[in-house]
Structure 1
Amino acid sequence: MNRGHVVVIGGGLAGITAALDCRERGYSVQLVEARARLGGATYSFARGDLLVDTGQHVLLRCYTSYLDLLRRLGVADGIRVQTRFRVPVISPGAAPATLTRWNLPAPGHLAPALLGYRRLSWAQRARVARTALALRALDPDDPALDGQSLGQWLRERGETPQAVEALWGLLAVAALNAPPENASMALATRVFRTGVLDVADACDIGVPQRPLSELHGEAGHRALLNAGVEVRARCKAGTIRPDTNGFHVRVDEPAGERELVADSVVVATPHRAAAGLVADLPVRDAEAWARLSCSPIVNVHVHFDRRVTDLEMAAVLDSPVQWVFDRTRISGARTGQYLALSQSAAEREIGMRTEELREVFTPALNELFPAARRARVLDFFVTREPHATFRQAPGTAALRPAARTDVPGLVLAGAWTATGWPDTTEGAVRSGIRAAEVVDSQQRSRTSVEVTA
């Protein structure tokens, strides 16, 4: 039974999820995407014999909604999840350390991570354990937590700068794209409780084994078409005009402008684009979304003519490098070794020229991996994501809107909406699920009113 028509604006993970869920609930659905492809900010491109992801993405086992989406798209085998959380931590000229877990009930699973983590003294490890127990008692949905930073909270518990840098910040910067001093304590609590402290295997890391375009954009496109969703790429949405029967959405396509008619509209674009789309509608606090601002991520790509490390992934301390990933096999490289360096909260790096970054990161890799000193760099290039995430600072919870707006039938989706999660693939998928629930709830209420009348 066709319950009505839904137009979804935006073909990222939130839009793909909302469109699939609306279709499964019996609605006819059109998804419009301004780009020629789906997948949003996650995509791949060819460079020589490499297939390159614009950014290195990882996930945790607790990303249940995202993993469910990959299963629906038929690409769950494109993710390899650790059987047990393990992260090598390296630094120049020092013996490597390892963060790992045991197969014990939480929070005992973290005992080896603290007992064996040589980057901290015994006194620092004991204090970290006490801090972790205090954090485990916090409620991530407590609005008061969003008023302070993770850094402030850690200082109040006596955490040393060394512990913040070598442990708390190491994880928080990667998860929140913000240093502890600029990271919302509410979101940090969500990360550490849901991803690390509450369930033993929740922190196991998953790494894509296929290019992101295959996992998200291409697989999403196929799944949408197979479900009966009409996908309109190279179709840029303009004004959204409500009337008594629904909405008219003006779109600009290669063939010219046209209007799409819908009973409901899901706006699943980045927050600044969403604010522009609803600017002429009576949507409360839409101008506040822009104050979420953005935080950049920079990825440095280095292709050596030979293997320089046996590590598949490592976190890095005391170096310009934050995280390093071996992308050789995944990218299809035929020779040598291809490493991707993921730099979160990259306020400094985002404005640097490629040659400047080369002068910083080539010596840094030589210090980390002595074999790199004897290797020849076949290629060095940089991908920049200036708007990788919204700025997940204290006070952002009040700026993140709910899926349901003041305009009945107009619904929001995106990792920047009020999911309670950080700006991650999990948050994006959860927002799409919630958007479809709101669409269905509103359409059912409207149908019930019409029948009663």
Structure 2
Amino acid sequence: MSHAPLPDAPQRAGRTAVVVGGGLAGVTAALALADAGVRVTLLEGRPRLGGLAFSFQRGELTVDNGQHVYLRCCTAYRWFLDRIEGSALAPLQPRLDVPVVDVDRPEGRRLGRLRRDPLPVPLHLGRGLATYPHLSLAERARVGRAALALKALDLTDPALDTQDFGSWLTAHGQSARAVEALWDLVGVATLNAVAGDSSLALAAMVFKTGLLSDPGAADIGWAHVPLGDLHDRLARKALDSAGVRTETRTRVTSLSRTDNGCWNVQVPGETLTADAVVLAVPQRETYDLLPAGALDAPERLLDIGTAPILNVHVVYDRPVLRAPFLAALGTPVQWVFDRTAASGLREGQYLAVSQSAAQDEIDLPVADLRARYLPELRKLLPGTRDAEVRDFFVTRERTATFAPTPGVGRLRPGARTQAPGLYLAGAWTATGWPATMESAVRSGVSAADAALSALGRPRPTRLFAVEEAA
């Protein structure tokens, strides 16, 4: 296929870099390198930036492909929002407060809340746990003891990665109900796997950092605008201002070293030459592009599994949910978000049902999903019983995240490769975090730090703190 030559980049003396991939990891790496005075070209095969956190048009609606949230403890992603001047568009709630509705009760649906108080850890969760109605008094007491045991775990212990979180919870007295109503309620949404399928190392990191590190660590933030406004429009504006040459619809076909130690990056119709290359693409694409000798065991990248996320989108003719979001028990529905204002809908209400760890449903026909989820929403939200469904559609990300299975930690590579000048980024790399927007940004920072060190460039003072990105 023919490809027009890339336009000339703005001329700036000094080092050059090519970043392959325009998701959050690639955009972060490109901004960090450009802020240090490196002349950067960012190449993205899709027609937009943002990776798997993007928006598209469906008639008059602006739809996010999936619901993405972050927590106050996601300091790297918060830095990213500041860097692209988007923080005001994705605010944090003042204090953790999650409505949790259980519909599978003989006496009917029951509302509880997961929330915190402005008290020191772990007292900040004491009242919320003590009044959480979806667990018995004995279960709440055992949850408290398990939380303290979790807090005592050493996240640097490699043995944690070989164990599964579900077995650890069972060994620490957690009932199946406690796992469903608390541990998986949080863990499935953050890890994209149930406790029994999750590495203890990653699960412990999530709960220690999010719930047991700082009183406000788990406060939830989400975009009040389409994700494309943040991860494409504002990101592209920030890249342009930093002097980055951004090319979409441009897929890299190969990488090779030159005789003088630089890198040739081949795209259809042209070869770009750079001092450094950051590969910020999924693990299989990384494997396909890696030159021989770049990693000791590159086949390990193919052993990093993937996990799907399904999103069910329903437009009603009237408001049926008062809260901005809620979590559900006793139903296949996991989390429901109100996306009415962000989508531009002028009448009625648009709900997005976010279903993580959706291996059993990801390929079901839309008609089957409609027959499954509309009755569940009627049980969960009484207002839907008299409402008309004006639209129903689904979005599917079959490889939304890497699978956080026990042992995955040893498969995740760091930012540096054995090929000088070649670096890796992506939420699937060794950030210590599960596959989240936070992990993606941290990986971009780590790759940029490694490249700047090799290039002899000073680290930008406004870059996210390196000790936090380790």
TM over 0.5, shorter chain:
yes
TM-score by length of 1: 0.96
Letter in 2 for 1:204: D
> Which secondary structure does the structure 1 equivalent of 2:351 belong to?
strand
User: For residue 174 of structure 1, what is the aligned residue in structure 2?
Assistant: 189
State how 1:11-30 maps to structure 2 within 5 Å.
11-30=22-41
User: For residue 262 of structure 2, what is the aligned residue in structure 1?
Assistant: 246
- Report the more deviating stretch, 409-418 or 137-146: 137-146
How far the C-alpha of 1:12 sits from its partner, in A, is: 0.5
How far the C-alpha of 1:111 sits from its partner, in A, is: 0.3
How far the C-alpha of 1:137 sits from its partner, in A, is: 0.9
User: For residue 110 of structure 2, what is the aligned residue in structure 1?
Assistant: 95
The partner residue of 1:307 within 319, 325, 328 is 319
Residue by residue over 1:357-399, the C-alpha shift from the partner in whole angstroms, topping out at 9 and shown as x without a partner, is 0000000011111221111100000000001000011000000
The partner residue of 1:423 within 429, 435, 440 is 435
Unaligned runs of 5+ in 2: 1-11, 458-470
Residue by residue over 1:279-324, the C-alpha shift from the partner in whole angstroms, topping out at 9 and shown as x without a partner, is 5454222111111111000000000011112121101000010000
State how 1:29-428 maps to structure 2 within 5 Å.
29-92=40-103, 93-243=108-258, 244-252=260-268, 257-278=269-290, 280-428=292-440
Letter in 2 for 1:193: K
How far the C-alpha of 1:271 sits from its partner, in A, is: 1.0
Residue by residue over 1:145-197, the C-alpha shift from the partner in whole angstroms, topping out at 9 and shown as x without a partner, is 00011101101111111111110111100010000000111011110011111
Residue by residue over 1:394-443, the C-alpha shift from the partner in whole angstroms, topping out at 9 and shown as x without a partner, is 00000000100010110000110000111101110011001011001112
User: For residue 4 of structure 1, what is the aligned residue in structure 2?
Assistant: 15
Letter in 1 for 2:136: S
Could you tell me whether the CA contact under 8 Å between 2:256 and 2:291 is conserved in 1? no
Residue by residue over 1:98-146, the C-alpha shift from the partner in whole angstroms, topping out at 9 and shown as x without a partner, is 1110000111101022101011111110010010011011122221100
User: For residue 450 of structure 1, what is the aligned residue in structure 2?
Assistant: none
Distance 1:75 1:125 in 2: 39
Letter in 2 for 1:62: C
Letter in 1 for 2:263: F
How far the C-alpha of 1:95 sits from its partner, in A, is: 1.7
Distance 1:66 1:139 in 2: 24
Could you tell me whether the CA contact under 8 Å between 1:177 and 1:389 is conserved in 2? yes
Distance 2:132 2:366 in 1: 35
How far the C-alpha of 1:2 sits from its partner, in A, is: 3.8
Distance 1:108 1:44 in 2: 39
> Which secondary structure does the structure 1 equivalent of 2:456 belong to?
helix
Letter in 1 for 2:101: I
> Which secondary structure does the structure 1 equivalent of 2:53 belong to?
coil
Residue by residue over 1:264-291, the C-alpha shift from the partner in whole angstroms, topping out at 9 and shown as x without a partner, is 1000001111111105454222111111
Could you tell me whether the CA contact under 8 Å between 2:129 and 2:140 is conserved in 1? yes
> Which secondary structure does the structure 2 equivalent of 1:81 belong to?
coil
Could you tell me whether the CA contact under 8 Å between 1:139 and 1:189 is conserved in 2? no
How far the C-alpha of 1:26 sits from its partner, in A, is: 1.5
Q: What's the RMSD between the two structures over aligned residues?
A: 1.1
- Report the more deviating stretch, 281-290 or 40-49: 281-290
User: For residue 449 of structure 1, what is the aligned residue in structure 2?
Assistant: none
Could you tell me whether the CA contact under 8 Å between 2:257 and 2:264 is conserved in 1? yes
Runs of 4+ in 1 over 4 A off after TM superposition: none
- Report the more deviating stretch, 89-98 or 206-215: 89-98
Distance 2:58 2:156 in 1: 43
Letter in 2 for 1:429: V
Could you tell me whether the CA contact under 8 Å between 2:118 and 2:124 is conserved in 1? yes
Distance 2:301 2:341 in 1: 40
Letter in 2 for 1:7: V
Distance 1:135 1:282 in 2: 37
Letter in 2 for 1:100: R
Count residues with an aligned counterpart: 441
How far the C-alpha of 1:203 sits from its partner, in A, is: 0.5
Residue by residue over 1:313-341, the C-alpha shift from the partner in whole angstroms, topping out at 9 and shown as x without a partner, is 10100001000011111111111111100
Distance 1:296 1:2 in 2: 44
> Which secondary structure does the structure 2 equivalent of 1:403 belong to?
coil
- The structure in which a higher percent of residues are helix is 1
Could you tell me whether the CA contact under 8 Å between 1:279 and 1:286 is conserved in 2? no
- Report the more deviating stretch, 6-15 or 93-102: 93-102
Distance 2:43 2:383 in 1: 48
Unaligned runs of 5+ in 1: 446-453
Could you tell me whether the CA contact under 8 Å between 2:255 and 2:291 is conserved in 1? no
Distance 1:364 1:69 in 2: 37
Could you tell me whether the CA contact under 8 Å between 2:311 and 2:355 is conserved in 1? yes
Distance 1:328 1:416 in 2: 32
Distance 2:114 2:403 in 1: 27
Letter in 2 for 1:336: G
Could you tell me whether the CA contact under 8 Å between 2:293 and 2:418 is conserved in 1? no
Distance 2:406 2:352 in 1: 30
> Which secondary structure does the structure 1 equivalent of 2:216 belong to?
helix
